[in-house]
Amino acid sequence: MLVLAVHGSAVPAAAATIGRLVSAVEALSGIRPVVGHLDVQSPSLADVVRAHPRAVVVPLLLGDGYHRRVDLPAVLEGTGCVLTEGFGGEPGVALALLSRLRDAERRRGPYTRADAVVVAGAGSSRPGGNAGTKDCAARLAALLASDPDAGPDPVPVVPAYLTSAGPSVPRALAALEAAGHRRIAVAAHLLAPGRFTHTLAGQGAWTVSEPLADHPRLARLVLERYRSARGTRAVRAARLAC
């Protein structure tokens, strides 16, 4: 059994986005994930893993903060479930972010590109909790620099956060504007619509990209995590049987 652990949101569009991810995983593999929520929505993750002991639980998280290191292990304790890593540091996430950025640029004009980018993550006060956003910003900068259509000047890419860490998104935007940039895009390092995406829409950026959960690359990452965990479990079982 494959369980997707998601934060949960009161925004209806969030559930629809996760639903599209579930359908994409099923279309790729024939496996339909069961979704468990950490907050707000039902079913709760605790209820899901009680109903599906020994499942593989893939956390739909872009960072390595409190949810991944504290909340999830506490919920899964004693269930026999396997908890995989989240998606922080995955090259596929940066590629999905680039795709969303290009979509956002095209909404402003078919031949227009951002002259600076703020990669906006949720933010965490936990040590290492913001590494996923920082890594994604660095990878995105490298992807933009390697684009055959890139101009002579590198596009600055700055990580920023919506809570618990700095710089804040408004501060990052202001610093880039002060440096002379006028087409500043916000690349949302976020998974689904919610209060954070609503906040980004009001920051005055030139354009803002859509969340990532229903991008095709995320479905493939979910399956990679699931299959890797299944393979590891099978190897361990074989060793114990020897």
Q: When comparing pLDDT for 96 and 11, which is higher?
A: 96
Domain count, the chain: 2
95 and 204, same structural domain? yes
Radius of gyration over every alpha carbon of the chain, rounded to an integer in angstroms: 19
Whichever domain contains 44, its CATH number is 3.40.50.1400
Cα–Cα distance, 119 to 63 (Å, whole number): 13
100 and 65, same structural domain? no
Whichever domain contains 161, its CATH number is 3.40.50
221 and 154, same structural domain? no
In the chain, DSSP assigns E strands to: 2-6, 34-37, 56-59, 82-83, 116-121, 157-161, 184-189, 207-208
Please state the rounded mean pLDDT for residues 96-108.
Answer: 97
- C-alpha triplet 46, 15, 33: angle, nearest 5°: 55
Model pTM?
0.93
What would the pLDDT profile of 29-44 be if each residue is shown by its tens digit?
999 999 999 988 899 9
The pLDDT, as a whole number, for residue 178 is: 98
Residue-number span of the structural domain to which 13 is assigned? 2-88+215-241
Confidence category of residue 139, pLDDT binned at 50, 70, 90: very high
